[in-house]
A and B are shown apart, each in its own frame.
Chain A
Amino acid sequence: MYVAVKGGETAIAHSLDLLADRRRGARDLPELTLDQIDQQLSLAVDRVMTEGSCYDRTLAALAIKQARGDLFEAVFLLRAYRTTLPRFGHSLPIDTSRMVADRRISSTFKDVPGGQVLGPTFDYTHRLLDFSLMTGDERPTAPTAPVDTAQELPRVGDILEREGMLEPPPPADAGAPTQDITRDPLTFPAARAVRLQNLARGDEGFLLALGYSTQRGYGNNHPFVGEVRYGSVPVGFVPEELGFAIEIAEIDVTECDMVNQFAGSHDVPPQFTRGYGLAFGHSERKAMSMALVDRALRADELSEGVTSPAQDEEFVLAHSDSVEASGFVQHLKLPHYVDFQSELVVVRTLREEVEARRRRSTPVSAFGQAAE
């Protein structure tokens, strides 16, 4: 039960002032600029855009600054902002084979067309703290190599698909509008497109733990990274005034096509199946976790039996959103004075009843009381 509680206005106002004061920190240090956050904390920006489900680097940087680096809070701020804007429509589906890729690796084929491009990755660092970053020295720019930007990057999945070894993805249902959980509430069972939208904005930590649980045997789906790619893709859009498509932006995305062993079922011969992950910016851990969970959630469709948390769509989809989860956990801090008073009354009454029953059934003796 919620009851209006009056009072505390001054305390709240001063709390906000103190928050702003702490956000600024020591005044003898220069204040962070949004460009610095965008450029030098770019992976934080990517995560906030992904889970905030709104691609805008400047706004995500602002949210991070305002939230003092609390990325959950920043996601919440971005989600709140997006509710103030009108929707112009849907983009054309992005074509990731047209990506200008900063990174593209496959762990299934060594000699994949287009090659293994490592790009900027932590994978080959030794995770030793680099003390040279403690000073503001000039950093050298990265080396370059000759390149053909017109070349498309074929998908590893398409190669396996042609051999019939890999299931093709579900085809587009012509004429059917793409379902959208920001417009229509989530219901179960959820279509795969709906599950993917939910996972795309879901909390990275939650999906990482669920993905990890499948690897440890809770719904094992024998995954291989078909490929991971990260880079820039154009966004096509058909303005209502024009009736033909134009490109309105180039955005950075990370994509993971996970390939999973599948023994076959009554209707399907043994083949490889797939899970898919897509995230804004460079968000590899997120895209991979999403792909693992997407595949796990297909257990029912592939007649595998739903036995583990990661395969249970109601469990996964209802708890993936950090804004909802954080809101419900943190609302416990709000005044519950009246709820608690009523519970106190209930517990006191129960105790009195128990006490009274005990007195009735046990003859009171000096020994008995002393023994308690």
Chain B
Amino acid sequence: MPPSSSHSVAPPQRQRWLSVLAKAPSERLETLWQTLGVAPSYTLLRRPEIGLVMVQGRISGSGAPFAAGEMTVTRAAIRLDSGEVGIGYVGGRHPRQAELIATIDALGQRPEWQDAIEQQIVTPLEQEADARRTMRAAKAAATKVDFFTVAREGGA
């Protein structure tokens, strides 16, 4: 696997969109991609492949790592005809999503596409993920215990 041919994108930027795209629901990503309305031609460097990643935990949450158990992961890599190489990794078995992420990753390395991808795909997905997280946390927050102390007679 050759390294990405593009140096125009800083790693933190790619890191961000690759993470957002990986955690998005497959169907939602597909819909946003269709809305973007672009069909770049590319070659598959690595056709979507399902495999395993060993998830590590830490002893007592903060100590030495240990192998906690595996998870399924799908990965893919593509090269645009214009030369940019994109990769996609996604937890679960989602061949189409991995290929789509790789395509968006490659396209994101072309400056003229960066704004559209950011505004029409990455930002909406991130906001939706935040909303899901907030809803989940809000339901948990409603179960938080409010302790109260019953005042004893004599105010002791």
Interface residues of A in 132-177 (CB under 8 A from B): 142-147, 149, 155, 157-158, 168-173
A31 on interface, CB distance cutoff 8 Å: no
B72 to chain A: closest residue by CB? A56
B55 on interface, CB distance cutoff 8 Å: yes
Q: Determine if A251 and B91 form an interchain contact, defined as CB atoms under 8 angstroms apart.
A: yes
Which of A99-107, A328-336, A342-350 makes up part of the contact surface?
A: A99-107
Encode contact with B along A198-213: 1 for CB under 8 Å, 0 otherwise: 0011000000000000
Which of A14-22, A114-122, A351-359 makes up part of the contact surface?
A: A114-122
Interface residues of A in 166-222 (CB under 8 A from B): 168-173, 178-182, 192-194, 196-197, 200-201
Most chain B C-beta atoms within 10 Å of own C-beta, residue among A50, A116, A194, A278 = A278
- Kindly state the separation between the CA atoms of A249 and B64 in the bound complex, as whole angstroms: 22
B38 on interface, CB distance cutoff 8 Å: no
Q: Determine if B92 and A56 form an interchain contact, defined as CB atoms under 8 angstroms apart.
A: yes
Which of A64-72, A233-241, A307-315, A319-327 makes up part of the contact surface?
A: A233-241
Q: Determine if B144 and A115 form an interchain contact, defined as CB atoms under 8 angstroms apart.
A: yes
Beyond A93-B65, A242-B87, list 5 extra A-B contacts (CB 8 Å): A145-B144, A149-B133, A171-B63, A235-B71, A239-B89
A276 on interface, CB distance cutoff 8 Å: yes
A297 on interface, CB distance cutoff 8 Å: no
Interface residues of B in 4-49 (CB under 8 A from A): 4, 11, 14-15, 18-19, 22-23, 49
Q: Interface of A with B (CB < 8 Å)?
A: 49-50, 53-56, 58-59, 82, 85-97, 100-103, 110-111, 115-120, 142-147, 149, 155, 157-158, 168-173, 178-182, 192-194, 196-197, 200-201, 231-232, 234-235, 237, 239-242, 244-251, 253, 255, 257, 274, 276, 278, 280
- Kindly state the separation between the CA atoms of A142 and B85 in the bound complex, as whole angstroms: 45
Most chain A C-beta atoms within 10 Å of own C-beta, residue among B51, B54, B133, B147 = B54
Q: Determine if B56 and A155 form an interchain contact, defined as CB atoms under 8 angstroms apart.
A: no
Encode contact with A along B70-107: 1 for CB under 8 Å, 0 otherwise: 11110101000000010101111100000000000000
Q: List 9 A-B contacts (CB under 8 A).
A: A58-B93, A82-B70, A103-B140, A117-B145, A149-B137, A179-B67, A196-B68, A249-B22, A249-B23
Residues in A whose Cβ lies below 8 Å from that of B11: 242, 244
Encode contact with A along B107-151: 1 for CB under 8 Å, 0 otherwise: 000000000000000000000001001111111111111010000
A259 to chain B: closest residue by CB? B60
- Kindly state the separation between the CA atoms of A142 and B51 in the bound complex, as whole angstroms: 37
Q: Determine if A155 and B23 form an interchain contact, defined as CB atoms under 8 angstroms apart.
A: no
Q: Determine if A170 and B61 form an interchain contact, defined as CB atoms under 8 angstroms apart.
A: no
- Kindly state the separation between the CA atoms of A86 and B75 in the bound complex, as whole angstroms: 12
- Kindly state the separation between the CA atoms of A320 and B4 in the bound complex, as whole angstroms: 45
Q: Determine if B141 and A145 form an interchain contact, defined as CB atoms under 8 angstroms apart.
A: yes
Q: Determine if A240 and B1 form an interchain contact, defined as CB atoms under 8 angstroms apart.
A: yes
Q: Interface of B with A (CB < 8 Å)?
A: 1, 3-4, 11, 14-15, 18-19, 22-23, 49-73, 75, 77, 85, 87, 89-93, 130, 133-145, 147
Q: Determine if A55 and B72 form an interchain contact, defined as CB atoms under 8 angstroms apart.
A: yes
Residues in B whose Cβ lies below 8 Å from that of A97: 61-62
Which of A117, A248, A250 is within 8 Å of B53, CB to CB? A248
Closest Cβ of chain A: how far from B153's Cβ, in Å?
23
- Kindly state the separation between the CA atoms of A333 and B110 in the bound complex, as whole angstroms: 63
- Kindly state the separation between the CA atoms of A120 and B50 in the bound complex, as whole angstroms: 33
Residues in A whose Cβ lies below 8 Å from that of B22: 246-249
Residues in A whose Cβ lies below 8 Å from that of B85: 241
Q: Determine if A170 and B59 form an interchain contact, defined as CB atoms under 8 angstroms apart.
A: yes
Closest Cβ of chain B: how far from A162's Cβ, in Å?
12
Closest Cβ of chain B: how far from A82's Cβ, in Å?
6
Residues in A whose Cβ lies below 8 Å from that of B91: 55, 235, 248-251
Which of A93, A95, A248, A276 is within 8 Å of B73, CB to CB? A248
Q: Determine if B93 and A249 form an interchain contact, defined as CB atoms under 8 angstroms apart.
A: no
